[in-house]
Amino acid sequence: MLGQVTDERLVQRAIGGSSSAWHKLVKRYEKRVYNYALRMIGHPDDAFDLMQEVFIGVHKNLASFRGDAPFPAWLFRIASFRCTDYLRRRRVHEEFDEQKNAPHADPGPEEQTFNTHTNHKIVLALKTLPAEQREVVELKFFQNFTFDEIAGQLGISANTAKTRLYSALGKLKQHEELRDAL
Amino acid sequence: MLCEQANPQLIEYLANELPPEAQRQVHTHVQDCATCQSDLESIKQFHMMAENWQDEVVPNWDPNLVRTRQKTSADPIDFLRMWFPTAASAAALAMVTLIFFQMPATNNGTLPQQSTVAAQYNTLPQLPQATPAAQEAALVQSVMEGSREQRAEELQALLQILKAEMDRRSIETEESMRFIIANQLQGQQELDELYQQVEDIMTQSAGAKSAAEAVGSNTAPGSQ
């Protein structure tokens, strides 16, 4: 029976220089990474940039993928790191622009950039959370990782991940936008 | 099982990720606890939120560009923009401190000796030039380590840059100070010379006047 080629096999072939294997690997995960970035950052252009940064990081580190953990867990470890770095850089840029009295680029009416009203509401709700809590909510509810996997991806303990998640849930429960979306 | 024990396990309970015994205990607790039942409902709603998300379409792009785009971990301009405010503040503080400590307390008429900072600057090692291989290694490292480690590395790099910048500024400051002091001394010297000349002229005029008076007193009796 011909099944889908495993991630590990694609990684091995991509390391060996196969562009088609790399292409397949990216296509397999680009939607998941892009939507992750969209929920974390909230704007399509920035999310697209971040997605590309993630895959650049993945490509550069493919040789270090040992297969000890599933490929998605490894991929999202890089994605989490890149996202944290991206948000930190953006925050510094915003502070820098504020100091120069330069208005921050207006992303435009965000609602128009999402497929559905629900998506827009969800992004708005997630935006009310600090980045570290948003990250845990994303990895737990949208990516369905276990607390141990989340802990490994974020370099924190499982208990810390759990604490962040419950804090986030407490805030989200009071969020009107989210209640409307559910 | 107490509520304090059961509540933090609700998410795992719902996902059936707890060991069988814990799963059973939480289940028993939830049957009798209104608070946990309410929280469980909230968690279910959040799962629904995730399910309600409709994936957005990824814009068209060529994944193979990634293979050729060996982008560095951080754009140098971004790096500068990121650290410029901090670096400028630190450099300003360093300059003020250096000026304060290197300012001669009194001007005894001699130029200050070259400071040790300036001497160190002359022998300051060149900053390592980033080669493509080094950049790649740095990126790999940065990706694999946590953000805290990368921040530490960036701070190290920043400190190196700041040190070089502080040394350069201190040299400039010292040169400026030396120039100012030299100018002041030269001005003082010129004033001294002028004063001396005026004094000489006054001495000469006083001498001439007294000589004239002496001559006058000597000739006056004879003339009478």
When the pLDDT of each residue in chain B is averaged and rounded to a whole number, the result is: 76
Using CA atoms, how far apart are residues A152 and B42, in angstroms rounded to an integer? 26
Residue A8 lies in a domain: no
Task: Say yes or no for a CB contact (<8 Å) between B150 and A56.
Answer: no
Q: Reduce the DSSP state of residue B161 to 3 states and report it.
A: helix
How distant is the Cα of B73 from the closest Cα of chain A, in angstroms?
Answer: 9
Task: Say yes or no for a CB contact (<8 Å) between B140 and A39.
Answer: no
For residue A143, the chain B residue with the least C-alpha distance is B50
**What residues in B contact A38, CB-CB < 8 Å?**
56
How distant is the Cα of A105 from the closest Cα of chain B, in angstroms?
Answer: 16
A:143-172 residues touching chain B, CB 8 A cutoff = 146-147, 155, 162, 165-166, 169, 172
Task: Say yes or no for a CB contact (<8 Å) between A26 and B63.
Answer: yes
Mean pLDDT check: name the lowest of A109-113, B36-40, B87-91: A109-113
For A9-33, the pLDDT digits (tens) are 999 999 998 999 999 999 999 999 9
Q: What is the pLDDT of residue B153?
A: 75
Q: What is the pLDDT of residue B72?
A: 45
* pLDDT at residue B223 is higher than 50: no
For A53-101, the pLDDT digits (tens) are 999 999 999 999 988 889 999 999 999 999 999 988 887 777 666 666 5
Domain hosting residue A152, numbered range: 19-181
Task: Say yes or no for a CB contact (<8 Å) between A155 and B8.
Answer: no
CA A67 to the chain's CA centroid: 21
Residue A2 lies in a domain: no
Q: What is the pLDDT of residue B111?
A: 52
Q: How many domains does chain A have?
A: 1
Residue A14 lies in a domain: no
Using CB atoms, pick whichever of B17, B56, B58 lies closest to residue A115. B56
Rounded to two decimals, the pTM is 0.58
Task: Say yes or no for a CB contact (<8 Å) between A59 and B66.
Answer: yes
More confident: A109 or B49: B49
When the pLDDT of each residue in chain A is averaged and rounded to a whole number, the result is: 85
* pLDDT at residue B222 is higher than 50: no
More confident: B25 or A94: B25
Rounded to an integer, the average pLDDT of B53-80 is 71
For B147-193, the pLDDT digits (tens) are 666 677 778 888 888 888 888 888 888 888 888 888 888 888 888 88
How many A-B residue pairs are in contact by the CB < 8 A criterion?
Answer: 119
**What residues in B contact A137, CB-CB < 8 Å?**
46
For residue B84, the chain A residue with the least C-alpha distance is A96
Residue A110 lies in a domain: yes
SS3 content of chain B, % helix, strand, coil (to 5): 75, 0, 25
Using CA atoms, how far apart are residues A37 and A151, in angstroms rounded to an integer? 19
DSSP string, B104-120: -SS--SSPPPPPHHHHH
CB contact B149 to A (< 8 Å) = no
CB contact B64 to A (< 8 Å) = yes
First to last CA, chain B: 140
Residue A3 lies in a domain: no
Is the separation of the CB atoms in A123 and A110 below 8 Å?
yes
CA angle B191, B196, B197 (to 5 degrees): 100
Q: For residue B146, which of A49, A68, A153 has the smallest C-alpha distance?
A: A153
Give the type of residue at B77. Answer: I
Q: What is the pLDDT of residue A1?
A: 45
Residue A5 lies in a domain: no
What pLDDT band is residue B79 in, cutting at 50, 70 and 90? Answer: low
For B122-160, the pLDDT digits (tens) are 555 555 555 666 776 776 666 666 566 667 777 888 888
Residue A10 lies in a domain: no
CATH of residue A159: 1.10.1740.10
CA angle B57, B143, A90 (to 5 degrees): 60
In which residue are the tokens 């900053």 written?
Answer: B127
Mean pLDDT check: name the lowest of A83-97, A155-169, B23-37, B66-80: B66-80
**What residues in A contact B50, CB-CB < 8 Å?**
141-142
Most distant CA pair in chain A, distance: 63
* pLDDT at residue B110 is higher than 60: no
Q: Reduce the DSSP state of residue B19 to 3 states and report it.
A: coil
The percent of residues in chain B predicted with pLDDT above 90, rounded, is 9
More confident: B115 or A55: A55
Interface-testing mutation among B36, B46, B81, B141, with chain A (most A C-beta atoms within 10 A): B46
Residue A12 lies in a domain: no
What pLDDT band is residue B15 in, cutting at 50, 70 and 90? Answer: confident
